[in-house]
Amino acid sequence: MQGQSLYVIWLLAAGAVMGAVFDMYNTTLGSSGWLRWLRPLADLLFWATAALAVFRIAYVADDGRVRLYLFVLVALGWGLYAFTLRNWVVSSAQALVRAVAAVLQAFWFLVHLFLVRPLWALCQFAVWLAKSGYRLLCLLENATWGLLRTGLRISGLRWLGRQLGKVVFTQKAVQTWEEIWGLASNWLLTAWHRTRSSE
């Protein structure tokens, strides 16, 4: 008699525990859109574990014989739980979900404050530094090319002046040389005519 009473209590307790576990994980997974896709897998694991637990109780208490009253007692335990503790378990699960969500939000806020924002500011500073360096290099390049062009122009003008000076000097030398030869030719011709006329 005592063994049968314990068997009934174990089956009722198993039904109540099954209802509590089902409500807890169902409330937890249903409160988050990210976790809803886990519900089919969680249902499969739940029913498999519940079946093993019930059959384990039947094996220990009744030599593994599965009878109709086993399912009736489990369902009765689930019903007793639903009428007495279900609201408290669901509200506790919701409070736990809200607490975990608050902790995660606080954690994300701290991560965002001390990690994400400094990294973002560092990236922005690196981008600004790269842009400023690029602009500075462009200015230096333009200034360098400007100085080179100016230097080339100045050296080109000097070279052109030297070439023109050489040409002018050469032309003057040739003209002077021609004038000297012209004077010499005229003097020789004049001297020759005088010699002829004196004879």
pLDDT tens string 33-59: 767 788 888 889 998 998 888 888 888
Q: Are 6 and 73 in contact (CB under 8 A)?
A: no
Q: How confident is the model at residue 1 (pLDDT cuts 50, 70, 90)?
A: very low
Q: Are 78 and 16 in contact (CB under 8 A)?
A: yes
The pLDDT of 159-173, averaged and rounded, is 57
pTM, to two decimals? 0.55
The pLDDT of 154-159, averaged and rounded, is 63
- pLDDT, residue 67, reads 75
Q: Are 24 and 89 in contact (CB under 8 A)?
A: yes
Helices 39-62 and 2-30 pack at an angle, to 10 degrees, of: 170
- Side chain identity at 42, as an amino acid letter? A
E strand segments, the chain: none
- pLDDT, residue 168, reads 53
CA distance 127 to 146: 28
Q: How confident is the model at residue 83 (pLDDT cuts 50, 70, 90)?
A: very high
- pLDDT, residue 71, reads 85
CA distance 177 to 173: 6
Q: How confident is the model at residue 4 (pLDDT cuts 50, 70, 90)?
A: confident
* Mean pLDDT value across the chain: 79
Give percent of the chain with pLDDT exceeding 90: 15
Question: Which residues, other chains included, contact 31 with Cβ-Cβ below 8 Å and sequence gap of 6+?
Answer: 94, 97
Q: Which residues of 106-134 are buried (b: 16+ CB within 10 A; e: fewer)?
A: eeeeeeeeeeeeeeeeeeeeeeeeeeeee
C-alpha distances out from residue 12 to 19, 28, 31, 145, Å: 11, 24, 29, 93
CA distance 50 to 143: 82
C-alpha distances out from residue 149 to 125, 142, 153, Å: 36, 10, 6
- pLDDT, residue 44, reads 92
Cβ neighbours of 63 (radius 10 Å)? 7
